[in-house]
Amino acid sequence: MGTRKTKAPPPAALGRASTKKDLPDHFKNYRHVWVFIELERGQVHPVSFELLGEGRRLADQLGVQLAGVILGPPGDSTRHAVAEAFAYDADLVYLVEKPLLTDYRNESFTKALTDLVNTYKPEILLLGATTLGRDLAGSVATTLLTGLTADCTGLDVDADGSLAATRPTFGGSLLCTIYTLNCRPQMATVRPRVMRMPQRSNKPVGRVIRHDLRMLEDEIVTKVVGFLSDGQSENANLAYADVVVAGGLGLGAADNLQLLKNLAQTIGGDYGCSRPLVQKGWMAADRQIGQTGKTIRPKLYIAAGISGAVQHRVGVEGADLIVAINTDPNAPIFDFANIGVVADAVSFLPALTEVFIRRLAPGNHIRLVN
Ligand SMILES: Cc1cc2nc3c(=O)[nH]c(=O)nc-3n(C[C@H](O)[C@H](O)[C@H](O)COP(=O)(O)OP(=O)(O)OC[C@H]3O[C@@H](n4cnc5c(N)ncnc54)[C@H](O)[C@@H]3O)c2cc1C
């Protein structure tokens, strides 16, 4: 891969507080790993489970507990979120249940989460880099005056117990590891699908710590009056699709995007694109795949007319099977594709679609590689 990992100097070499021993006294009793369980309009976002998997690993390395943090209205959806947190291996759950928390609003969620942190003092706090998570993480970090590393692609614990949060930098050509040395908690966000989905353990129950939210509706400036569809809600699942067909500049014209859609529809998949197609206005931004778009982990990824730049590669390399169609036999995408087809995508895509239509006709069977 074209991305190089910087050799991060050990925190001590930076001449600042680097171990728990050197931390200001009031931070020394910060312990345990917390994962914010994102519950929006009744649904737990799957990135929360991916983060519980990571959180479990970090907590085990540190020898501390893993907690889920759930903020929501009283009712079934919040109860379900608590049960799911335990099923994905949380040791305990911090729960703030209030009608005020029915819909996400920055003021109420920031107050609830910062109150919890100030009371129970976690050492590490992880959130999904979703629209909600990014908004909340930024305001919680600035309220608590602590460090936040956004869009991490790797999380680890150093020998001295510090969180080593790795993320792309300099346009994706380097990876850097960032430490929060002098503040607690150490906060990080991770985009959906960057981390693997852990096994659901079916652990039925655990300890729930309820916490109050001392806030009145009158104190919240933001009022939710309703939800409007942007007409693109069907796009929300691209990150979690099992089959994705994507196109790049090699498709040559906006009209040729229909070829992608036809193939995706035929094989029951979703479709996406490289960044230049969004910049040209050929496809909506929420279909962009890559470093500044979506990360995907499908069973099958078909890339047509995409060169395989590192910023695109980081978004697709978790796919089980990558099929690349490109006229240039030296295109970088062939370095990491499992199957390479040197061909004109504009004629190859309809031919492939035809084959699938025939093979998928009643009486025929097709099996995707697992
Ligand atoms: C900070 C930053 C963030 C970025 N984030 C992203 C991101 O999230 N996602 C992303 O995709 N990019 C991102 N980019 C852009 C990235 O660097 C590349 O420029 C981009 O991925 C290239 O898109 P492409 O492969 O479609 O186009 P090109 O690189 O121009 O490649 C087109 C390919 O099509 C092939 N081709 C031409 N004609 C045909 C044909 N008829 N049939 C088949 N193949 C053909 C060519 O051989 C070529 O390999 C980012 C860049 C920066 C600096």
Residue reference for tokens 């920055």: 106
Q: How far is the CA of 247 from the centre of ligand 1 (A)?
A: 9
Q: Taking the CB of residue 195, how many other CB atoms lie within 10 A of it?
A: 26
Which residue among 194, 283, 312 has the greatest number of ligand 1 atoms within 8 angstroms of its CB, and so is best to mutate?
Answer: 312
pLDDT of residue 203: 76
CA of residue 241 to ligand 1 center, whole Å? 21
Tell me the pTM: 0.84
Residue with the larger pLDDT of the pair 2 and 232: 232
Domain span holding position 310: 235-359
> What mean pLDDT value characterizes the chain?
91
Which tens digits make up the pLDDT trace of 221-251? Answer: 999 998 887 654 455 579 999 999 999 999 9
CATH (domain of 328):
3.40.50.1220
The pLDDT of 304-310, averaged and rounded, is 97
User: 60-74, 136-150, 208-222, 223-237: which has the minimum mean pLDDT?
Assistant: 223-237
364 found inside a domain: no
Cα–Cα nearest to 213, from 108, 142, 135: 108
Binding-site residues, ligand 1, Cβ < 6 A: 171-172, 248-250, 252, 274-276, 288-293, 305-307, 309, 311-312, 315, 325-328, 331, 344-346
Report which protein residue has its CA nearest ligand 1's atom 7: 290
Q: What pLDDT does 205 receive?
A: 85
Span from the CA of 300 to the centroid of ligand 1 (angstroms): 19
Strand ranges (DSSP E) for the chain?
A: 4-5, 33-37, 39-40, 43-44, 66-72, 92-97, 124-128, 148-149, 154-157, 163-169, 174-178, 186-190, 207-210, 243-247, 270-273, 300-304, 321-326, 339-342
Distance, CA of 42 to CA of 78 (rounded, Å): 7
pLDDT of 351 strictly over 60: yes
Q: What is the percent of the chain where pLDDT is above 70?
A: 90
The answer on 182 and 38 residing in a single domain is yes
Atom of ligand 1 nearest to the CA of 274: 11
290 is in an annotated binding site: yes
pLDDT at 354 over 90: yes
Query: Domain boundary at 149, 184, 219, which?
Result: 219
Nearest CA to ligand 1 atom 23: 274
Strands 124-128 and 4-5 turn out to be unpaired
Q: Which two tokens stand for residue 158?
A: 């150093």
Q: Are residues 299 and 323 in the same domain?
A: yes
Residue nearest to atom 27 of ligand 1 (CA): 249
Structural domains in the chain (count): 2
Q: Are residues 100 and 241 in the same domain?
A: no
Verify that 129 and 181 share a domain, yes or no: yes
User: Which residue type occupies 310?
Assistant: V
Q: Residue 63 — left, alpha, or beta (φ > 0 → left; ψ -120 to 50 → alpha)?
A: left
Residue 186 has pLDDT above 80, yes or no: yes
Share of the chain above pLDDT 90, in %: 81
pLDDT tens digits, one per residue of 109-144: 999 999 999 999 999 999 999 999 999 999 999 999
CA distances (Å), origin 75, targets 42, 81, 102, 361, 366: 9, 10, 10, 46, 43
Top-confidence residue, 276 or 204: 276
Quick one: average pLDDT of 193-204?
89
Residue with tokens 């094989």: 267
Q: Could you tell which of 282, 287, 311 is best to mutate to test the pocket of ligand 1, judged by most ligand atoms within 8 Å of the CB?
A: 311
Nearest to 66, CA basis, from 52, 84, 87, 76: 52
